[in-house]
Structures are given as structure tokens and as C-alpha cells.
Amino acid sequence: MNVIKTLMMACCLWATAVLADPPPNYPFVNFDAGLKAARASGKPIFLYFGRYGCAWCDHTNKKTFSDASLKMLYSDHYELVYVDAESGRRLTLPSGERITEAELGVRLQAFATPLFVYMTPQGDKIMQIPGFKTVQDFRDFDRYVRGGHYKQKTLLEFLGGKS
Amino acid sequence: MWSEALTVNSVQGAQVFTHLESANRQGIAVSGGSVGVVWEDNRDGSPQCYLAIKPEKRAKFQSEIRLSQTECFEPVVVALGAGRFVAAWEEAGQVRARIVPGGAAIRLTAVESAQVTLAVGAGKLYAAWAEQAGRFRRIVVATLKVTGGTLGVSLTQPVEAAAPVDEQGWPALAVAGNGHVTVAWEDRRDRHTVPMVSQSSDGLDFASPARLTDRKSGSSDGLGAGTGAMRPTLTAWGKLGVAAVWLDKRDFLSGYDVYAALVEANHPFGRNIKVQDGFGDNMVQWHAKAVGDTRGRLLAVWDDARDGTPDVWLAEWKGDAFGDNEAIPAASGAGAQSDPVAVLDELGHLHLVWLERDENRGTRIRYVRGVPR
């Protein structure tokens, strides 16, 4: 039992050290684990590109991701991936290329955090959304993505047409 | 005046992923007129590290040699003189090094380690890396010895004796003209990423770390812990100086900017200086690198997409500020040119290498030499 407890504590410490600042109590995993899970489950990927110590990430976590229904919506219907914008941890892109988490920011041309990226289960980017967003915003993005509207409309067209 | 651009790597392809990333962006060195370039790519099915040399008076790079046996990342290279180099890299979770040409690879530490870098100066050779120390990595500096064609480690010690309280990584090293050693690194002890620096007069005892950034940590309206800054690079500069260049997100709405700080005649790193000019202000900068020489020339290189696609940019230190940003002709224009690494040789010539990405043809590593007018 002590061995199991020690292992669990070590895992928690590792998760804290590596994953930096995802919202608490969400099942965020690293990029490679998220991609693997998405391929198996067929769920889209919600990638949170955050920065350690980022004030706007903290604000989003407290104001938006604290919403219980949003947590359930995203935990149930997405593979949740957290990427640390300044980390040297490596990940494998769907192409097979291995880069650091920080280098993913270069590929995304990330100019601010938080940055939220929606991806297909195969890892193709659907859209990326920078900055603080509300619970309602994330509900709209969810309808756009899981409803498949991105295949026919831009996000602006979709949002402009919502009732 | 720029030389004709050369291609360094002999193997390219849509599925060959080529990287010039390393701690201190130490991917090129000039030794006795020979140019050595190191990089990582997966042509053999897994990431491996390679080195190519262009001997003095040869028009092209020779075929590259493979440095590693198993998965390899973030190689660096420095000049030993007379056409010899020392390369270092991470392989199978530990940092290694060897003399090239000839020489056998050695492990620099038996501990899990990564992000190795090298520096030479005042007749000495140093390495630094990030090494696992309990829950986090910390920065370690080693003095290396070269005996004939054999490389050895004579002394290894952490910059700080105390165990790290959060992650440290991406060290940069510089040896000033008086032999003083400066090490800079990314540090998260303040709950966000801050470039820290420490100096030693003998490479043995390092002073308590100080911040490179002149911006304080702290939450904003009770949120977060501070703005981010990452990937510090160092260069020796002038007779006694050291310069640092890093990516800094203090203006958090426009991505990372390039900032610098200077040590002159043993005065500590002072005010932070914005490197890029106003045309790059609303654009995110990446892959910044400090480049200096003993004659007092200092410049920074990086890439940004202010003209629509990623280009390599250069700014020279003018004594009180960095000058107008210049696009490197062969490393700008249509397509993506990025990830510069550069070094100044004994004649003051700038040797620059970068990635030229093409999704269909693959990535070429390109090289030019710049001679001051």
C-alpha cells in the first residue's frame, strides 16, 4: 500500500511539475497522450496552450473553467491536451516530427496565451482561439466543432447566424 | 557583403525533419578557417545528430558525419582551433561530447540530463547542462580537458548547491577575455520563466544567481506570477564583456520580443535593451541568438514574419542601442527562413546558418558568410 501511495504522490508531483498551469481537476494530458487517446476514442482534441505563470490563463481558469457544466462538457466530449508554451518537453506532431512544446508555439504563430486549439481526432487543426473566453464562448466553439459546422462555415459566419 | 549561400545537409525530404535547436543556439563554429555545423534530423528513422564541416578554402561542405547511435537531440559545437571541434548533444537521456575529427564520444554525466551547451575561452573549455536533481532539473557546469585527441571531464558542479525548487533549463555559457565564466538559464523558481545569470572568476565558484530581466515577478490583479522570458543566449564580447540576448514577453500582446543586456568590464548585467526595431514591434520574434567577438562587435539574429513569411533578421550593437534591423538577403523573401545560428570568426566575418523550409522538398540547412564592408 505504501508503495502505491508513493507512486501516486510521485505521479501527482510529476503532473504538477510538467503540466504547469492547466485548470484544476480537468483530465488534461500531454500532447502525445492526448493524440493517442483521440485516435482511439474518435473525440476531437481541445488543446490549451498556456504559459507558466500567465495571468490571463489564471483568469480563464478561475472565471471560465471553474464552471462545472463546462468542465463536464469538455471532459466528456474532448481529449484535453495541455501544452506549456515555454517548455522543452518533446512532443510528436501527427506528421511524425518531434519538436519541443515551445516550438509548437512557433508553428502555431502563438502571440499570446492562453491559446486554444481545436483539432480533429487525427490531429488536424480546426481552429485556434487566442485570449480570455467566457463559458458561453466555449459552448459556442463546442457547437461549431462537434456540430461539424467548421466544414462549411467560418467561425464568424457560424456565430453571426446563431439564434 | 554576403557569400553565395551553400546547402549544408546532404539529405532532405518531406518526411525528413531537420532542427537547429540547442541550448545557447550553439550550432556553428569556425576552427582554423573550417566551418562546423551541427543539427538533428530523422533521416535514419529516428532523431540523430550530425556534423558537417566545410574545410578552409573548400567551396562546399563535406558529407556530414553522424555523431549519435540512439535518439539524439539539441547538438552544439565549439572550435578547438586548427580545424578541430568539440560537439556535444543529448543522447538516450544523457549528455555526451566528442572531439571531431577523430575522438570518441564520452558521457559528461551519468545522471539524467539534457540541453547541453559548450563554451571556450581563455584557454579553457566548459560545458553546462540541465541535470535531474530530485523532482526538478538544475544547471550544472563542467570543466572539460582535452589531451591530444581525448576529451575528459575534470570537474562538474551545480551552479547552486541547494536543490532546485522548480525547473531550470536551457543554459548558455560565455567565457570573457579575463577567463570569467558566465552561465545563464531559464528558471521557474518565481513561478514563471525568468532568465537567471551567475558568474564565476574561475569556473568553480559561482555567485548567487541574479535575474537577467529588469522586470519584477509578481501577479497582476492577483492573477498569474509574471510575464514570460525564455531561451537566454550568451556571447563573449570585446576584451572583458559578455552579452545576453533572449526572448521576452513583457509586452504580452505581441508575442516574444528580443531583449538584450550587457556586461562591460565586469560591471553586472544592467538595463534591458530592446533589440528589434519598431517595424518588428507587433510581430512575434523567435530563435534569438547573441553573437559577439573579442574586437567588440556585437549583434543579434532571430526570425520573424514581419514581411509576411519568416525571415532571418540581424541587428548590430551601435554603442548605445541596437541599429536598424536588416534582413539577411539569402535568408529572406518568399518561403520560410528561420532558426538562425551564427558565429563571428577571428577576422570579424559572420558565419550564419538557418533553416529553409519547403513542405514538399523538405528542409535545407543554408549557410552564408558575411564580410563587413
d(CA B33, CA B38): 16
Q: Does A15 touch chain B (CB under 8 A)?
A: no
Q: b/e string for A20-30 if b means 16 or more Cβ within 10 A? A: bbbbeebebbb
Answer whether residue B317 shows pLDDT above 50: yes
Reference B181, options B195, B194, B198; nearest CA is B198
CB-CB under 8 Å, A95 with B17: yes
Q: Sketch the domain layout of chain A as residue ranges.
A: 25-160
pLDDT digits (tens, 9 = 90+) for B116-154: 999 999 999 999 999 999 999 999 999 999 998 899 999
A63 touches chain B (CB under 8 A): no
CA B229/CA B240 separation, integer angstroms: 26
Across B64-76, average pLDDT: 97
Residue B169 with chain A: CB contacts under 8 Å: 88
pLDDT tens digits for range B262-298: 987 666 888 999 999 999 988 999 999 999 999 999 9
Helix (H, G, I), strand (E, B) or coil at B286: strand
For B337-370, what is each residue's pLDDT tens digit?
999 999 999 999 999 999 999 988 999 999 999 9
SS3 at position A111: coil
A15 pLDDT band (50/70/90 cuts)? Answer: very low
CB pairs A-B closer than 8 Å:
84
Half-sphere exposure of B197 (CA within 13 A, CB side): 27
Q: What is the mean pLDDT of residues B317-332?
A: 97
- State the smallest CA–CA distance between residue A126 and chain B in angstroms: 20
Nearest-CB residue to B192 (from A52, A109, A112): A52
Query: Which of A55, A86, A90 is opposite residue B220, by nearest beta carbon?
Result: A55
Mean pLDDT of B221-238: 95
Collapsing DSSP to helix, strand or coil, B209 comes out as coil
Ramachandran category for residue B192: left, alpha or beta (phi over 0 → left; psi -120 to 50 → alpha): beta
Q: What is the mean pLDDT of residues B171-198?
A: 97
Nearest to B351 by CA among B92, B46, B53, B67: B53
Cross-strand pairs, B322: B317
Q: Does A90 touch chain B (CB under 8 A)?
A: yes
Q: Which residues of A touch B115 (CB under 8 A)?
A: 88
Interface residue of A52, A93, A132 to substitute, partner B, most B CBs within 10 Å: A52
CB contact under 8 A, B73 and A90: yes
**For range B248-259, the mean pLDDT:** 92
Phi, psi of B185 (to 5 degrees): -160, 165
DSSP state of B216: P
Q: How far apart are CA B138 and CA B160, in angstroms?
A: 8
* Subunit contact B284:A111, Cβ cutoff 8 A: yes
For residue B258, list its beta bridge partners: B247
CA angle centred on B48, ends B91 and B133, rounded to 5°:
20
Q: Mark yes or no for CB contact A111/B253 under 8 Å.
A: yes
**Rounded to whole angstroms, how far apart are CA atoms A10 and A25?**
17
For the cut 50, the answer to whether the pLDDT of residue A163 exceeds it is no
How far apart (Å, rounded) are the C-alpha atoms in residues B7 and B335?
16
Strand order across the beta sheet in which B210-211 lies: B168-175, B181-187, B194-200, B210-211
C-alpha B109/C-alpha B94 separation (Å) is: 7
Question: Mind telling me how many Å the CA of B227 is from chain A's nearest CA?
Answer: 7
Chain A residues 110-129 within an 8 A CB cutoff of chain B = 110-113
The CATH T-level fold of domain A25-160 is: Glutaredoxin (3.40.30)
**For position B266, what pLDDT does the model report?**
63
| pLDDT tens column, B17-61 | 999 999 999 999 999 999 999 999 999 999 999 999 999 999 999
Which residue of chain B comes nearest to A95, CA vs CA?
B15
Q: Of the candidates B172, B188, B166, B198, which has an alpha carbon nearest to the alpha carbon of residue B115?
A: B172
Share of chain B above pLDDT 90, in %: 91
C-alpha cell at B241: 564583456
Q: Tell me, what's the pLDDT at A6? A: 43
CB A53 within 8 Å of CB B192? yes
The DSSP letter of residue B189 is T
Q: What is the 3-state secondary structure (H, E, C) of B15-63?
A: CCCCECCCHHHCCEEEECCEEEEEEEECCCCCCEEEEEEECCCCCCCCC
Contact A104/B at CB under 8 A: no
CA distance B353 to B370: 11
* Average pLDDT rounded to a whole number, residues A89-116: 96
Residue to mutate among A19, A51, A132, with most B CBs inside 10 A, is: A51
Question: Averaged over B172-192, what is the pLDDT?
Answer: 96
pTM (2 d.p.) = 0.94
| CB environment B47-78: b (16+ within 10 A), e (fewer) | bbbbbbbbeeeeeebeebeebbeebbbbbbbb
For residue B243, what is its C-alpha cell?
552579452
Tell me what pLDDT residue B253 has.
80
Helix (H, G, I), strand (E, B) or coil at B297: coil
| d(CA B296, nearest CA chain A) in Å | 32
Q: What is the pLDDT of residue A162?
A: 61
A53, A98, A112 ranked by CB distance to B253: nearest: A112
In chain B the domains, ranked by start, together with CATH numbers, are 6-370 (2.120.10.10)
The residue-averaged pLDDT of B310-315 equals 98
Whether the per-residue pLDDT at A18 is higher than 50: the answer is: no
Query: What is the pairing mode between strands B298-304 and B286-292?
Result: antiparallel
User: Strands across the sheet with A115-119, in order?
Assistant: A79-84, A45-50, A115-119, A125-130
More confident residue, A4 or B301: B301
Average pLDDT, rounded, for chain B: 96
pLDDT of residue B165: 97
Interface test with A, best of B18, B95, B252 (most A CBs within 10 A): B252
End-to-end CA gap in chain B = 6
